[in-house]
Amino acid sequence: MDITIWLHAVDRPTLAEAERLARHVTPEQRMAILRLKHLWRRSPHYPYRVGGTDVYDAVLEHDVRSPEEFSTYLRLRGLPPDPSVGE
């Protein structure tokens, strides 16, 4: 499951993008996103330095599928490449 919780009634400018993703993401992409988010969920860097937007960009725009590929993606962007760094 991948959810976002809104605590306040606010304008949601990203709602259209979220709806577009829900319609167009493939089952393979969805599983890759969920696996990477699961791997990173306990990292001290998630979601503050490495977040969901990084995961979505890596998978949807750069064809990242594995933790190793995600580490390379992050390293190239100057981000912590390992979810255990800092634990």
The one-digit pLDDT tens for each residue of the chain (87 residues) are: 555 655 656 566 666 777 777 788 899 999 999 999 999 988 988 888 999 889 999 999 999 999 999 999 999 999 998 887 544
How is residue 32 written in tokens? 């890759």
Domain spans, the chain: 29-80
pLDDT value, residue 27: 92
Which residues lie below 8 Å from residue 35, measured CB to CB, with a gap of 6+? 67
Rounded to two decimals, the pTM is 0.76
Q: Which of 87, 1, 45 is nearest to 71 (CA)?
A: 45
Report d(CA 69, CA 87) in Å as an integer. Answer: 21
